[in-house]
Each structure stands twice: as structure tokens, then as C-alpha cells.
Amino acid sequence: MNIHVIEQLNNFVKLPDNKWESGWWSLDENKAQKLVGGVIYFHKKRNEPSFFGGSITGYRIDQSSENQGKIVFTFQYNVNCRNVNTDRYGWSKMMKIISNE
């Protein structure tokens, strides 16, 4: 499964080895598990191409009081995840999940 998300605040944390974290997403943990191994694309708006993204390598559930229970994805940056468009159908709030099935 792949995911497209609207990210307007640049909530990214750079990790070693060209890995990044992005959060804080309101998403069921079961869906987060299924997204590991897929691709995440970040868009400023639904109708604009992605500006960033990569292969999802893992996730964690934030335990801080401010974002408790929200998902934080870890991903390996991939230049091929830039300038990717998706159609306007299938968005739910700030994200669109595409099943590979």
C-alpha cells in the first residue's frame, strides 16, 4: 500500500543514512503496519504534485502528550517520489491510501 498525504508544516526530522521521520498522522495502527514497505508521497495541496517522499521503513506511535496516539512514519528518501501526481478521488481528510491489491 502507498499513501499520499498533505503536509504543509514541514514536520520532518532528518535521521542518519538518508532516512526521515514524518508525523503526526491520525491513522489506525493496523493501516500503518500495512503501509510499511510501501511508499509515502507528500503534497502541499491535493491537486499539486508531490514535493518529497520515499519508501516507508517503519512507524511508531507517538507517546508525547501533545500528539499521543498519532503515527510517525520513518522512510528512506527517494528522488522518484518527487513530482508525482494522484487524482482527486479517494482522499479522506489529509490523506489518500492506495491499495496494491
Residue 18 has pLDDT above 90, yes or no: no
Sign of the C-alpha dihedral, residues 80, 37, 97, 8?
negative
Average pLDDT over residues 11-22: 93
What pTM did the predictor assign?
Answer: 0.93
Strand ranges inside 1-101, DSSP E = 2-6, 12-15, 19-25, 39-43, 52-61, 71-77, 95-98
pLDDT tens track for 56-82? 999 999 998 889 999 999 999 999 999
Q: Tell me: the pLDDT tens digits for 19-46?
A: 999 989 999 999 999 999 999 999 999 9
- Report the 3 state secondary structure along 1-22: CEEEEECCCCCEEEECCCEEEE
pLDDT interval class at 101 (50, 70, 90): low
